[in-house]
Structure 1
């Protein structure tokens, strides 16, 4: 197979799955790790993808905002693992807020079987839909903020911000478009950045849910330094350099193995509580 043919196949796989691992590509293409890494370097040099620890993801500009459907196909095993660990942090008889995002959507799936009273505030239509799809129990109250819907299914703007500012929750679970040592947590949407700040201000504890491919991605607008996170949950694909920065900045870093990310979808009490607590 010619190098151009290999690279076309790699791009097709990245576009299909949202991201790929080097080990997957070596098996798919029948070539060595070094060959795959050279191909990834060439594709990155042309701006077609972005290399991450152990693989590559689609290249995204600072103002590009992928739709919910596009994002939901990316990094599914890692997001499931992160969501499964996040479920174990939800305490009965508490109030939580959940931002928009595909990882928080998976968290909502894991909360469908909640058997204790729980109040949920969200600015995500997809999170609210997921909770309702599980036959929302009477003891779970869901507050949808209202606002203007973004491509990522977030409700943002003055209406959302005012609603959130009037509420106070025990714990916020928030997804991010990108995280970076200098820029902090970012999003490509200016209005969403402001709404995320309102969510952070409403919570006693902030839990950031971010798969390892988010490291090094910088969106147009930031909504908090890395230290805003009392807890950050990510997956084992995070690089050693990123891990060191996060250990120094966040209150508690939890790194989860990807293989443990299966969510039953209706049992929040039995979700995995394992994970490496780094700090």
Structure 2
């Protein structure tokens, strides 16, 4: 409060007028917002508006201006510290499925088991392509009440002979990933509504989550649009990594399952977007 009083006294001693006053007030607000970010890693629109005595709309304009200057990144309900180029790694080529399956296998197994325990409580589930989603499918073979919808031929094969009913989208096959894509596949699943969708990703930053291919991204976005609850599976090796296509923002998902605490920027962005974070316990046998 003392800081507020001193600011008012300064304003009265040298009263600016018109646009000059507005620029001064904006400058002060921006400094306060950046101070909050430096201390907490994230800021909320409502909290800032109450503290600074201005409207939510004014704070949103301030955040937009600061984002344009590269000082922060806006997220749902507030903002987080901006990423710097040095803090994010870019993956330009998609490794082969078998190589990805071996990489970080313990972490992926733990995430898969945790996700399966959640999915087993639903009746209709959309399952994305990917190594961790593939491992999760193996835990669902006894879920007789479950209907599984997928564009992954690997997931459907993994469930072949199991209890769930499995429905595969029709379309063109991407050979290496064994994924089905194209307008026919999109149109088929766009007509459905899933209780839950489980997505994989190539990487995640505070800006959102990514994938290597345009083809598979189209189906991922169908799952996001047509599901009541959205789960993202991401092992910690993918934190602060991005690739060709941004699939969505963190506000597009409800739950992130991973194997370790994310970096502070991602954690702050998840909190701002109201995404639940779950750390998977080690899988049995590891």
TM-score bracket for this pair, using the shorter chain length: 0.5 to 0.7
Q: How many correspondences in the alignment?
A: 200
Aligned-partner Cα distance in 1 for 2:168–2:275: 29
Matched, 1:175 2:200: yes
Unaligned 5+ segments in structure 2 are 1-85
The aligned residue for residue 262 of structure 1 is: 284
Please identify the structure whose Cα radius of gyration is greater.
Answer: 2
Match 1:158 to one of 155, 164, 183: 183
Q: Does 1:136 align with 2:162?
A: yes
Shift of 1:51: 10
Partner of 1:249: 273
| Aligned equivalents of 2:173, 2:237: Cα separation in 1 | 25
Check if 1:82 corresponds to 2:111: yes
Matching residue of 2:223:
199
Answering whether residue 86 of structure 2 is matched by residue 61 of structure 1, we say: no
Cα distance change of structure 1 residues 232 and 195 upon mapping to structure 2, 3 Å threshold: same
Q: Please give the alpha-carbon distance, in whole angstroms, between the structure 2 residues aligned to 1:95 and 1:158.
A: 22
Q: Deviations over 1:74-122 (max 9, x none)?
A: 11111111111111112456100100011001110111122x4110000
1:93–1:249 Cα change, 3 Å: closer
2:152 aligns with 124
Check conservation: 1:123, 1:155, Cα contact below 8 A: yes
Aligned to 1:238: 262
Is 2:122–2:195's contact at 8 Å kept on the other side of the alignment? Answer: no
As a proportion of its length, which structure holds more helix?
2
Question: Is the counterpart of residue 112 in structure 1 residue 141 in structure 2?
Answer: yes
Q: Whole-Å Cα distance in 2 between the matches of residues 78 and 152 of structure 1? A: 21
Query: Larger RCO: Structure 1 or Structure 2 (Cα < 8 Å, ≥ 6 residues apart)?
Result: 1
Does the 8 A contact of 1:110 with 1:263 survive in 2? no
Tell me if the contact between 1:177 and 1:188 (Cα under 8 Å) persists in the aligned partners. yes
Measured after TM superposition, the shift of residue 240 of structure 1 is 4.0
Q: CA deviation at 1:171?
A: 0.2
**Shift of the alpha carbon at 1:263?**
7.8
For 1:127 and 1:79, locate their aligned partners in 2 and report how far apart those are by CA, in whole Å.
Answer: 15
Alignment partner of 1:95 out of 115, 119, 124: 124
Q: Give 5+ residue unaligned stretches, structure 1.
A: 1-49, 53-58, 265-279
